[in-house]
Structure 1
Amino acid sequence: MRDSDSERRNRTRSSWPFTPFFFFAVVLPVALAALAYQLEPFEPVGLPVQLSRSKVAVPARNEKVRRDVEVVGEGQLAGPEDLVYDAAARVIYTGCEDGWIKRITVNDSVVEDWVNTGGRPLGLVLCQNGDLIVADADKGLLRVTSEKEIELLVDEYEGIKFKITDGVDVAEDGTIYFTDASHKYCVKDSVFDILEGKPNGRFLSYNPTAKKTTLLAQDLYFPNGVAVSPDQHFVVFCESSLARCNKYYIHGSKKGTVDKFCDLPGMPDNIHYDGQGQYWIAMFTAITPELELAFRYPFIRKVMAIVTKYVWNLHIVKDGGVLAVDLEGKPTAHYHDPKLSLTSGIKIGKHLYMGSIFYSFVSRLDTEKYPALSSV
């Protein structure tokens, strides 16, 4: 005997999963997520270039750096972001998230509290007279004398405050080149600048004699580390969000223009010249499949921003390291690791010292004992 239409409808309804558990476990969270997405004012945009996982050809690699490093100052350094070496005093300066600029002795790895800026010191560079120039994310561009006197040089341009004073270097003529990674977001919200995908950054110079600030380039995508070329012909600066390094010409027929300096296997941070023909570019992450997808589709970055803002901090960095490139921008060696995330790297003798905002120590690698080997 056939079932009646009423019986079939009742049987169908009873198979639907609209139980209280299904409502609270599935329907309600999805509805709230959709509502949050619609109400959230954060609106990412498309990037002018697409990030790619294509490997940059590097003739030599060490792909297991974390396995071979020594830990320096563990527990005494809160997020040592950048590193700079004072060869005369045999000490490394580094800026930490608690405002301290600390010194680490190279010989015996003793950590000393040197001076506290009251902000968040990021990029560092030593002047010929011994002064330390500090790109402090919160305070602006600072000068710290050897007597630990702190002087604010500049913290705004044409009325727009620096929100993340970031990378810095000094030319032989005393001109200070630096970046304001974002004039919209502060350092604690820097991830939102990258997720937003808008060019909120600036590259500037400061003449300490004339006390004049000059805007060199704007509409940049989280401009980061800065390094003046040894011939003083151009300045290299990194754009983290686009995973690239540029060069700004300060002399010659191309003065005032910007060209590409080098391709990168990841998102760059600080860059330092070692005085021996090599730039060392730190990368806090490689271009992972997740990042490649997110940077291709703004709606994914909006979801990531909502999760970061209201639920928990996403940490999807992977395979960071330090890339060495020559004066032409050609990669020569890549030191990296799947579980590494770095924001600076400097070469002192046979050792590579590496800092990171994610760690409570500085890493040291003996490059003679653990070299980058030919990848051919």
Structure 2
Amino acid sequence: MAIFFFSPRFLFFSTIIPFLASIALYRLDTFDPAPLPAEALAYSTNSIPPLLNDGLLTGAEFIGAGLLNNPEDIAYHRDSGLIYTGCVDGWVKRVKVLDSANDSVVEDWVNTGGRPLGIAFGLHGEVIVADAYKGLLNISNDGKKTELLTDEAEGVRFKLTDAVAVGDNGVLYFTDASYKYNFRQAAFDFLEGKPHGRLMSFDPTTRTTRVLLRDLYFANGVSMSPDQSHLVFCETTVRRCSKYYINGGRVEVFIQDLPGYPDNIRYDGDGHYWIAIPSGVTTLWKLSMKYPFLRKLTVMAAKYGFEPMFAENAGVLQVDLDGKPIALYHDRKISHITTGVKIGRYLYCGSLLHSHIIRLDLLKYPAQ
């Protein structure tokens, strides 16, 4: 057996110097993550529903495979039977879904020149788009006209326009996930753990943009209640959805301590909301959320090309109008599911990762 002897000088330069350099880099890096609120660090089974389908991919079909580049949000136009979705290449695409997923037709409709995320329909046939880079857009005249509605509030430009919902009176409600970080930097906002998000409204009649709530932890999906009295909006970082009452501005928790980090929320017209969960809560996420220095190390690694978002076990949570969990459809083999929309007997899922829309027949593959 060969025996190797190392001089003190060799040991100093091979171990101590790299260690000291690492400490210096850590101290010099300006990223400054914050401790999260106590409620964001609570973990329980209270939000786990009685019905589960832990094999979402089992029996799932892929709509528009290879033709949809990260279809983040999904909006269904009942009159035309078309699905609208925004892709990472800037295209808002229209999808005609047929009985066979393979026969679905994908149309390049309008390119915003940005990153279309949230999609909703206006009162007069317009398509309202929350574009991460451009702001809140109105697409009308069957795609021939694109108008910027608003891209700032109170003198602060939107950095990550995220989701949008439309009231029966035509007022648009939307989120700016972060006024500090843009779409490509979204993981940094999440890991910094500071409230940079806002919930806002835009009145098309007065052309007025109002900030309804500020200091939100990555303000994400937003949905109008069926009685039009309140909004339900999601804060991804703290795993919480809350109600905002339009008259009076009162806020109350709708559901918290979610089994994952919520993205978009959609009402299905039948007494249920569907909350997309891009990633479940893992041991690594628990540690990172608890200890800011781990989040700083993660961001430092990301600056050198390492993937900072370790997502897995994505799915969609179905809840009732009071926020009570009903069913969870998820799968440990997938991540980055950003939208769940129930259309008829099917659940359609958008994604920030895949090149298709996932469709699951809820009658054939129910949660049990």
TM-score (norm 1): 0.91
Q: Please show how residues 216-231 of structure 1 align to structure 2 within 5 Å.
A: 216-231=212-227
Q: Is 1:292 matched with 2:325?
A: no
How far has the Cα of 1:17 moved from its partner? 7.2
How far has the Cα of 1:109 moved from its partner? 1.5
Q: Deviations along 1:122-162, whole A, 9 cap, x unmatched?
A: 11111232111100010000001142110000000121100
Q: Which amino acid aligns with 2:93?
A: K
Query: Aligned with 1:203: secondary structure?
Result: strand
Q: Please show how residues 75-224 of structure 1 align to structure 2 within 5 Å.
A: 75-107=66-98, 108-148=103-143, 149-224=145-220
* Distance (whole Å) between structure 1 residues aligned to residue 11 and residue 182 of structure 2: 42
- Unmatched tracts of structure 1, length 5 or more: 1-13
* Distance (whole Å) between structure 1 residues aligned to residue 289 and residue 265 of structure 2: 23
- Unmatched tracts of structure 2, length 5 or more: none
Q: Deviations along 1:197-234, whole A, 9 cap, x unmatched?
A: 11111100110001011110001100000000000111
What's the counterpart of residue 344 of structure 2?
Answer: 349
Q: Which amino acid aligns with 1:337?
A: D
Give the counterpart of 1:38 among 14, 27, 32: 27
Q: 1:52 to 1:19 in 2, by over 3 A?
A: farther
* Distance (whole Å) between structure 2 residues aligned to residue 53 and residue 215 of structure 1: 31
C-alpha contact 2:342 2:348 (8 A) present in aligned 1: yes
Query: Aligned with 1:268: secondary structure?
Result: coil
Q: Deviations along 1:46-68, whole A, 9 cap, x unmatched?
A: 11133344232301110011232
Query: Aligned with 1:147: secondary structure?
Result: helix
Q: Please show how residues 235-314 of structure 1 align to structure 2 within 5 Å.
A: 235-251=231-247, 255-263=248-256, 264-314=258-308
C-alpha contact 1:81 1:355 (8 A) present in aligned 2: yes
What's the counterpart of residue 332 of structure 1?
Answer: 326
Query: Aligned with 2:286: secondary structure?
Result: helix
Q: 1:123 to 1:16 in 2, by over 3 A?
A: same
What's the counterpart of residue 44 of structure 2?
Answer: 54
* Distance (whole Å) between structure 2 residues aligned to residue 17 and residue 191 of structure 1: 44
How far has the Cα of 1:15 moved from its partner? 5.4
* Distance (whole Å) between structure 2 residues aligned to residue 126 and residue 19 of structure 1: 69
Q: Deviations along 1:17-75, whole A, 9 cap, x unmatched?
A: 75859954x55543332222111000101111333442323011100112321111121
Q: Which amino acid aligns with 1:51?
A: L
Larger radius of gyration: 1
Query: Aligned with 2:329: secondary structure?
Result: strand
TM-score (norm 2): 0.93
Fraction of identical pairs, as percent: 49
Query: Aligned with 2:188: secondary structure?
Result: helix
How far has the Cα of 1:276 moved from its partner? 0.5
C-alpha contact 1:125 1:169 (8 A) present in aligned 2: yes
C-alpha contact 2:94 2:109 (8 A) present in aligned 1: yes
How far has the Cα of 1:271 moved from its partner? 0.6
* Distance (whole Å) between structure 1 residues aligned to residue 207 and residue 63 of structure 2: 38
Query: Aligned with 1:242: secondary structure?
Result: coil
C-alpha contact 1:53 1:288 (8 A) present in aligned 2: no
* Distance (whole Å) between structure 2 residues aligned to residue 92 and residue 190 of structure 1: 26
C-alpha contact 1:282 1:345 (8 A) present in aligned 2: yes
